[in-house]
Structure 1
Amino acid sequence: MPPSLFGDDHTLPLVLINLLGITGIVVWHLQGRDRPTGRLIVQILFFIGMSLVLYMGGIAPHQADDVDAETLTGALSKSARILWWTHLAWTIIGLIHIYVRLNRKPREAHLILDMAVAGIYLGVALSVMGFVFGLPIATLVTTSGVVALILGLALQNTLGDVFSGIALTLGKAYAIGDWVQLSDGTAGRVTETNWRSTNLLTGLNNIVVLPNSMLAKQSLTSLSRPDESHLMTLGVRFAAGQKPRIVEDAMRIVLETSTRIVKDPAPAVALKSIDAAAIEVELQFRVASLAAGTSAKNEIIDLIHDQCSLSGLSLAGPA
């Protein structure tokens, strides 16, 4: 640290640091939550200003001072160091938030972001206790480890959900807004992920809350990747006395007439089987999203009815 530009008396730089720190907090709050970039600029500017005053005053924030805490200078020294460490934490957290927003995945990175913020605050808290108040950091870390072990044993299920959520987030098995289907048959759109659970909005407009540890143990099928389109099939049975080629052409007209299915890739008609009772046909088509499946299938069934009347085709009885 260079010699102080303010002389041996640190009162003036300490007062300046306190004023900058408090003013920075006030201006930061006045920016509002809807201006994250403005907040970050305020954090960086005030932090740089406080750091310059520390440097010019020959004050090291990472070294405990030997000034009597009961004097005015001692109180200013401790409050200045606390404010500097606090602004350091806020500046780092602000940069992390901006980085997440630039990647346009703030909701998916929610769990990781929360852990990073918690780690930063923990590191700053230990730094303040060690460098400002002169407490033994090694002892604090050891004590914290014992407390963490006790809490870990008491909260095994909750911690299992937390780490499962982190693993699912890092693995990018799904994203907010994806349609997913689990091996137990549960299906829905992912609406929220948090520390403990994932919420699915089902086709019945119900919210299913799944603990992350349970979700991590199941196989998961994403119905939204590589895109939202979804393959659907519809089986139809026709009386055996009709020509399969005529049946195929009639069903192809049905698919070409439909306005609620995706035409690229083209839908297909598959003749599945024939016996003395019926010709079994399967219509294969895609819809833009799973939510559009019901309306598309209803339209196809209505068109089949009309086409059978026009073509003179007869449906077979149930198998």
Structure 2
Amino acid sequence: MRSVLETDWFYWALAVAVGLPVGLVVLTEMHNALSRRGSYLARPVGLLRNYILPLGALLILLVKGGEISAETTTVRIVATVLGLVVMILLLSGLNATLFQGAPDTSWRKRIPSIFLDVARFALIAIGVGMIFAYVWGANVGGLFTALGVSSIVLGLALQNSVGQIISGLLLLFEQPFELGDWLDTPSARGRVIEVNWRATHIDTGSGMQVMPNSVLAGASFTNLSRPASSHSLSITTVFGTSDAPDEVCRLLTQIGGRLPQRRPGATPTSVALGRNEYRTSIPLRSPADDGAAKSTFLRWVWYAARRAGLHLDGAADDFATPEQMSKAVRKIAPALRLSHTEQLDLLAHSTLARFGAGEQVQFAGEIPSRMSFIVEGRIQVTVACKDGSILPVRTLAEDDFLGQTTLIREKALADGHAVVETTLLQVERDFLDRLVLRNPLLLQDIGRMIEERRTAAQQASTAVAEPSSVSTPSFNR
């Protein structure tokens, strides 16, 4: 017994017999705890438990316990496998601690993947070289020297191409833009849909622009998506010299605030630039809305300027001619039970106005100052539900009207939008008051329609069903 205790292999074997089970138990508990928390360190701990600890114990038993020479092929194979697994552990551990758990705004998240791949390849090459040098006794110095010289020669031969690639990689490392951002570059304007180590792909709306990263790195460009919620569209319009600047700015600001592409909570601004020019800045949700917002704004301003008597591009509105007015009055005369004398009187108390498709004609919560009769076109009446959704109540066509609460001085319960270009004959409230006082039957007709429409709007605003399940009464006369 005394001779066994005095041998070196006994203590090594005892250390392995005790240390291996204890180490496996401890590492298993650590692995389970990290897995439950979803930690990135669970995989490195699993490698340590499943491979490195058993292989290390086997190597100790072979060299120290079995007193087998380190020069034998068996020991070298075990040492080689152990070295490879240790190398994998180091790479996995560095990746988990430095990059996978890094915050999104840190520099570690901005490193392009190609940089990480090159670094991994270099570490693997160094690790394999050390294994061959220390385990197998190979002379790897000459190999590394040859590789270094070859790299220098290749770099000198391809310095222009390599320089472009490096510039692109540095651009990716800085990350001045991300997927989905809108860029305005000297040669293209559009949304970034793909970024790789060589080029950036930009969707311009009329095709795909493939722009080398080196070109972007050497040029000045604008990221329209940063900072977030800061993009605005500027539109310049020209009005007549006789138009009051304050009135023009008020109209432009009002139209800009009604655009569906406007960013919620933001307010457009309009300023006079001189020489009859005005610039309107409209905050938008995204640069993707630029085209639609500009088209809609210019179209709506054309109609609104003519209704307000302003001269967009110096042009005057000649639509409401006496012939057009007389035709419109004759068209609505049966609905209002108008006599010939009353038709002539109506001409002096009404206006003919046109609205573009999509323009809002009536606003919920406002008291209309006029009753509007549809001469041509269609109007979609909608209400806002309690959950914020918009439900259509009905579509008004020719010979129908809206703004019926004008007579009773109550707020409108529904919004109205022109479906197509719509022409309205707008009748003043005072004239309607006198008209219904002289004609009790007309007052009854309008009163009945007011009640029907109020009931329909209230039912739709409180409904939780789909629009198709909402019952709407007929308003046709």
Quickly name the TM-score band, shorter chain normalised: 0.7 to 0.9
User: Are the aligned partners of 2:55 and 2:78 in contact in 1 as well (CA < 8 Å)?
Assistant: no
Output the CA distance in 2 between the equivalents of 1:222 and 1:303. Answer: 29
Output the CA distance in 1 between the equivalents of 2:77 and 2:264. Answer: 68
Encode CA deviations 1:191-217: one digit per residue, 9 max, x unaligned.
34333x122222226433333333322
Structure 2 equivalent of residue 25 of structure 1: none
Per-residue deviation, 1:145 = 1.0
Q: How many residues align?
A: 278
Encode CA deviations 1:248-286: one digit per residue, 9 max, x unaligned.
221121122222112544211011113xxxx21111112
Structure 1 equivalent of residue 193 of structure 2: 191
> Is 1:152 matched with 2:155?
yes
Structure 2 equivalent of residue 21 of structure 1: none
Structure 1 equivalent of residue 419 of structure 2: none
CA 1:241 to 1:7, structure 2 compared with 1: closer, same or farther past 3 Å? Answer: closer
Encode CA deviations 1:25-75: one digit per residue, 9 max, x unaligned.
xxxxxxxxxx98765453343344246426743769xxxx7524xxxxx1x
Structure 2 equivalent of residue 80 of structure 1: 78
Amino acid at match of 1:178: D
> Is 1:126 matched with 2:124?
no
User: Are the aligned partners of 1:250 and 1:307 in contact in 2 as well (CA < 8 Å)?
Assistant: yes
Structure 2 equivalent of residue 27 of structure 1: none
Amino acid at match of 2:192: V
User: Are the aligned partners of 1:47 and 1:91 in contact in 2 as well (CA < 8 Å)?
Assistant: no
CA 1:281 to 1:305, structure 2 compared with 1: closer, same or farther past 3 Å? Answer: same
Output the CA distance in 2 between the equivalents of 1:4 and 1:177. Answer: 65
Output the CA distance in 1 between the equivalents of 2:112 and 2:12. Answer: 48
Percent identity of paired positions between Structure 1 and Structure 2:
22
Amino acid at match of 1:122: A
Output the CA distance in 1 between the equivalents of 2:142 and 2:100. Answer: 38
CA 1:174 to 1:5, structure 2 compared with 1: closer, same or farther past 3 Å? Answer: farther
**TM-score, structure 1 length as denominator?**
0.73
User: Are the aligned partners of 1:82 and 1:128 in contact in 2 as well (CA < 8 Å)?
Assistant: yes
Once structures 1 and 2 are overlaid, which stretch shifts more, 265-274 or 90-99? 90-99
Structure 1 equivalent of residue 284 of structure 2: 287
Amino acid at match of 2:285: A
Structure 1 equivalent of residue 112 of structure 2: 109
User: Are the aligned partners of 2:40 and 2:100 in contact in 1 as well (CA < 8 Å)?
Assistant: no
CA 1:188 to 1:316, structure 2 compared with 1: closer, same or farther past 3 Å? Answer: closer
Output the CA distance in 1 between the equivalents of 2:86 and 2:144. Answer: 21
Among residues 297, 301, 304, which one is paired with 1:304 in the alignment? 301
Encode CA deviations 1:79-125: one digit per residue, 9 max, x unaligned.
32232222223223323443423226567531332222122212122
Per-residue deviation, 1:148 = 1.2
Amino acid at match of 1:283: T
SS at match of 1:136: coil
SS at match of 1:92: helix
Output the CA distance in 1 between the equivalents of 2:163 and 2:10. Answer: 54
Output the CA distance in 1 between the equivalents of 2:313 and 2:287. Answer: 29
User: Are the aligned partners of 1:6 and 1:56 in contact in 2 as well (CA < 8 Å)?
Assistant: no
User: Are the aligned partners of 1:181 and 1:223 in contact in 2 as well (CA < 8 Å)?
Assistant: yes
Structure 2 equivalent of residue 237 of structure 1: 238
SS at match of 2:239: strand
SS at match of 2:176: coil
User: Are the aligned partners of 1:4 and 1:58 in contact in 2 as well (CA < 8 Å)?
Assistant: no
> Is 1:93 matched with 2:91?
yes
Structure 2 equivalent of residue 177 of structure 1: 180
User: Are the aligned partners of 1:5 and 1:58 in contact in 2 as well (CA < 8 Å)?
Assistant: no
Which has the larger Rg?
2
Q: RMSD between aligned alpha carbons? A: 3.4
Output the CA distance in 1 between the equivalents of 2:284 and 2:78. Answer: 62
Output the CA distance in 2 between the equivalents of 1:43 and 1:223. Answer: 46
Output the CA distance in 2 between the equivalents of 1:213 and 1:59. Answer: 55
User: Are the aligned partners of 1:267 and 1:285 in contact in 2 as well (CA < 8 Å)?
Assistant: yes
Comparing both chains, which one has the higher relative contact order based on Cα–Cα distances under 8 Å and sequence gaps of 6 or more?
Answer: 1
Encode CA deviations 1:209-239: one digit per residue, 9 max, x unaligned.
3333333221232222221542211111112
List runs of 5+ in structure 2 lacking aligned partners.
1-7, 21-38, 316-477
Structure 2 equivalent of residue 30 of structure 1: none
> Is 1:266 matched with 2:267?
yes
CA 1:40 to 1:133, structure 2 compared with 1: closer, same or farther past 3 Å? Answer: same
SS at match of 1:84: helix
Amino acid at match of 2:81: L
Write out aligned runs for 1:41-60 (5 A). 41-50=45-54, 52-53=56-57, 56-57=60-61
Output the CA distance in 1 between the equivalents of 2:179 and 2:63. Answer: 48
**TM-score, structure 2 length as denominator?**
0.51
Amino acid at match of 1:314: H
SS at match of 2:170: helix
Encode CA deviations 1:127-180: one digit per residue, 9 max, x unaligned.
122123212233232222112112212332332233213322333333343322
Per-residue deviation, 1:317 = 4.8
SS at match of 1:312: coil
CA 1:194 to 1:51, structure 2 compared with 1: closer, same or farther past 3 Å? Answer: farther
User: Are the aligned partners of 1:190 and 1:198 in contact in 2 as well (CA < 8 Å)?
Assistant: no
Output the CA distance in 1 between the equivalents of 2:131 and 2:211. Answer: 39
